[in-house]
Amino acid sequence: MGGRWCAISATLLLLAGGLGGAASATAKPTSASKPAQAVIALVDTGINPYHQVFRDRSPLAMRYPGTYLPGYPKGAIALHITLDAKDYNQALRKDCRSVWAKVRPGQLYWFPGTKIVGAIAFGSQLAINCNDKEPNDTYVLSTGHGAMTASRAASNQYGACPECRVVSVQLPLSVSVGVGGEDGSTVSVNGLRWAAANRSWIDVQSNSWGPLVPGWAPASSGMVMDDPALTRAIEETARTQLAFWAAGNGAAFRGGVLGHPTLLAPHLGPAPIIVGGYDSGYVATWPGSMPNVASDACSSWATEGPTTTGSGPTIGSGTSAATPYVAGGAARIILEARRILGDSHTGYRGDVLASGRAGVVKSGPLADGKLTKAELKDVLFRTATARPVAERNDGAVCDPTQAPYNSTPVKWSDVPAAVQQYPLIGYGGVDTPARELAFRVLRGTAALPARAQEDALYAADQQVRTQAYTVWSKP
């Protein structure tokens, strides 16, 4: 069984010119001039661009992203890596000196032949050692947590949005305890703000990391505890760009432990979308309480280790795995709206994520020819499955004896309707039935469900977060 990826870690190893997919047929666009696109940024440890789940053999994948993504920065460098080697280590050794030894932080890269249209590193990652038989991860490159989360969001095989383009925003692979500055919260803030600053072409960001201790420090403390600068950056970026954050794992993040007035890991304001978890349709009580939505958080399908082909049904776990799946689900809804409206742009125009001619859809959120950020959140929340059941992408059911990160023997489908699911999974699971319902709402063939109970709890939680934010964001 794969390791249980957590949203927090003492070292954040669970964050963590050029150098040397298939389209959905669920809705016909109003204009076929350019295909609709959606872009998701994974703020994590990096990505494994060699893995087949990120391959794209279409001509589009060989073009400079700026030719089809308006707003894409100039000067991004293509990394022409070996995609036909017999295994990962052979490919990495072949490319080590010509490609990876030349990669630097702060520079945007992209990978021809893949769906990875952006990769940028922040902080002090390890320099690669090309003399090793198996060279280590380095700037941009990660075969661990970042590769797993990216595959949950956009894998060709089991990701929530196989059609989505991917941007990897790499934060430090390790953080010294009690140290801020270059390897602490400053770098984290820079990464978050970079993703949000590129909202003209990046639709969604996913964050499966957070401070080790769910507490607040009044001064820069690295990633051991939250600090005001990080708190403000999370809230401010989430106000302009859809930002999903892992609820956290373990008892320290449950029920107000350690002084939390609500789930704040780190101390989150009202803007971020918090993702909790369940286990293949079974109730799990260990993810952080009071999320907004949820997905599978125990033994889910994801890529594994330093490989070009390996994946498995028990690799992803924790709310780290649930968060990118939900973020990918949101990006897939955005993509569908663009297909319906014939919109080939990505990113935001003001607060609008998709636009086209009014009247293409007779009713629902697209009737006026626009999908706003607020409307997208409303659709995502209200179509979530209140009593989720197991799906293939969820992987295997976790062993109920492997405490503390185990499921209960109770299926959500067996929980009485009178029992409110919101404290554990928010509005519910962002899964296949939820996505199909969201598509019908976009087309105007189904009404947006009324979720009065969930709306009331969400409003109460938002009020608490708003009040808490005024405290935790003060220097």
Domain ranges of the chain: 18-346+377-472
What per-residue string of b and e applies to 407-424 under the rule 16 or more CB within 10 Å gives b?
beeebbeeeeeeeebbbb
Confidence of residue 474 (pLDDT cuts 50, 70, 90): confident
Mean pLDDT of the chain: 86
CATH of domain 18-346+377-472: 3.40.50.200
Give CA 127 to chain center in angstroms: 26
Beta carbons of 291 and 263 less than 8 angstroms apart: yes
Position 179 scores a pLDDT of 41
Helices (H) and strands (E) in the chain, counts: 9, 16
Contacts for 340 with CB less than 8 Å, ≥ 6 apart? 27, 29, 30, 354, 356, 360, 361, 366, 442, 443
Position 84 scores a pLDDT of 94
Reported as a single tens digit per residue, the pLDDT across 220-252 is 555 566 778 888 999 999 999 999 999 887 655
Position 251 scores a pLDDT of 58
DSSP 8-class letter at 367: T
Highest mean pLDDT among 173-187, 217-231, 294-308, 395-409: 294-308
Reported as a single tens digit per residue, the pLDDT across 73-129 is 999 999 999 999 999 999 999 999 999 999 999 999 999 999 999 999 998 888 999
C-alpha to C-alpha distance for 24 and 336, rounded to whole angstroms = 9
Q: Worst-scoring range by mean pLDDT, 81-85, 162-166, 282-286?
A: 282-286
Percentage with pLDDT > 90 across the chain: 69
Average pLDDT over residues 360-387: 97
Position 156 scores a pLDDT of 95
C-alpha to C-alpha distance for 171 and 177, rounded to whole angstroms = 16
Helices (H), 15-171: 88-95, 145-154
Position 27 scores a pLDDT of 40
Whether the per-residue pLDDT at 255 is higher than 60: the answer is no
Whether the per-residue pLDDT at 4 is higher than 90: the answer is no
Reported as a single tens digit per residue, the pLDDT across 121-161 is 998 888 999 999 899 999 999 999 999 999 999 999 999 99
Pairing relationship of beta strands 165-170 and 204-207 according to DSSP bridges? unpaired
Q: Which residue has the tokens 């600068």?
A: 229
Average pLDDT over residues 280-287: 89
Reported as a single tens digit per residue, the pLDDT across 203-212 is 999 999 876 6
Confidence of residue 24 (pLDDT cuts 50, 70, 90): very low
Average pLDDT over residues 255-283: 71
Beta carbons of 246 and 235 less than 8 angstroms apart: no
Position 18 scores a pLDDT of 47
Reported as a single tens digit per residue, the pLDDT across 314-329 is 999 889 999 999 999 9
Average pLDDT over residues 412-423: 93
Q: Worst-scoring range by mean pLDDT, 6-10, 15-19, 166-170, 365-369?
A: 6-10
Position 223 scores a pLDDT of 57
pTM of this structure: 0.90
Phi, psi of 290 (to 5 degrees): 55, 55
What per-residue string of b and e applies to 111-134 under the rule 16 or more CB within 10 Å gives b?
bbbbbbbbbbbbbebeebebeeee
* Inter-axis angle of helices 432-443 and 318-341, nearest 10: 20
Contacts for 69 with CB less than 8 Å, ≥ 6 apart? 37, 39, 117, 165, 201, 346
Confidence of residue 288 (pLDDT cuts 50, 70, 90): confident
Residues facing residue 389 across a β-bridge: none
Higher pLDDT, 182 or 15: 182
DSSP 8-class letter at 411: B
CA distances from 210 to 43, 272, 436 (A): 11, 13, 32
Residue whose C-alpha is closest to residue 118's, from 71, 175, 85, 52: 71
